[in-house]
A = this chain, B = another copy of it.
Amino acid sequence: MNTFGNRFRLTTFGESHGPAIGGVIDGCPAGLAVDYVLLEAEMTRRHVGAHATTRHESDNVEFLSGIYDGKTLGTPIAFIIRNSDARSSDYDALDKLLRPGHADFTTLQRYGIRDPRGGGRASGRETAVRVAAGAIAKMILNGKGIGITAMASCGTPAENDSIGGTIECTIEGVPAGLGNPIFDKLNARLAAAMMSIPSAIGFEMGTGFDAAQMQGSEFRDNWCVSDGHVATTTNHCGGIQGGISNGMPITFRTAFHPVVTIPQPTECLAPDHTLTTVTPAGRHDRCHLPRTVVVVEAMAALTIVDFVV
């Protein structure tokens, strides 16, 4: 389903070339003053970036409910972002064709029907909704002294090609005791949140995959108590033990594969299951990582806020 979270619950909707994309937040506490400047700043962070697309999306967030006199009412907060400047003619040639590496084929297998314009529901454009909702979540977290910062690391995209990368994220100020044992572990939630971002292909907490080659004596985060405050000397586990936060900074890293639409001849699958070669002309990022940093932060915020409201 298109819903994220249990207590602070975001339901999203929208195809990239339909009338609008948007979301409904259910469970936002009443009385929160909406910080429109922060919201605008977050939307802009997603919008622009070093290697980012030149498509000028008007990511104007229009609120329809749940806010009165600048404050949240506790009722659902619905918002929409109109789709404009959508030159769907760019995609016309691809309309019936299923691109390799995209969700075109799997969407058709799943639903038997698809909106062929620009990726439809599976377009990266849907992440704008995550960023808007994430901004609301950040407003709540900021009020509790919880801060989230992410940073991208990626190579230089080759000529007419794209490149992947990783995004590292740190959440500071999370009190010890957040999360659940067994299935609904905080790290399991973060993993699901990150892997739900388009192009995500790997996730690790703390030292992550390197820990697979460490010995217990090396990996173990030992206690360090000063002035009655409990901490650990190292943070190999990334701030979560047994699925529950231990009060240390929560750290994790997400790997993203490169954008698969590149301006090179591409064999697409036609409805009759023959292959046709086209060279994509649409506006696509060569490296989406700079734009994705704020999406990672948004999903982290939506994950954490669900445990604190």
Contacts and interface: CB of A to CB of B under 8 A. Distances in A.
Interface of A: 1-4, 9, 11-15, 18-22, 24, 26-27, 30-31, 62-66, 68, 71, 73-78, 80, 98, 100-103, 105-107, 109-115, 120-122, 126, 154-155, 157-158, 161-166, 175-185, 187-196, 198, 200-209, 211-223, 225, 228, 230, 232, 236-238, 240-247, 255-262, 264, 267-269, 273-275
Contacts of A274: 225
Given A76-B13, A101-B220, A201 B195 contact: no
A113 B204 CA distance: 30
9 contacts: A71-B113, A74-B110, A122-B242, A166-B209, A182-B196, A201-B208, A201-B209, A220-B262, A236-B257
Given A219-B257, A241-B101, A121 B182 contact: yes
Contact of A1 (B27, B176, B202, B225): B27
Given A212-B166, A216-B262, A11 B76 contact: yes
Contacts of A14: 64-65, 76, 78
A122 B182 CA distance: 7
Nearest to A167: B212
Give the number of copies in the complex: 4
Contact of A213 (B26, B155, B200): B155
B13 A176 contact: no
A194 B208 CA distance: 13
Nearest to A29: B111
Nearest to A98: B223
A257 B204 contact: no
Nearest to A176: B109
A100 B232 contact: yes
Nearest to A18: B65
A241 B261 CA distance: 14
A269 B106 contact: no
A95 to B, nearest CB: 12
Contact of A181 (B103, B190, B213): B103
A3 B15 contact: no
A271 to B, nearest CB: 12
A107 B209 contact: no
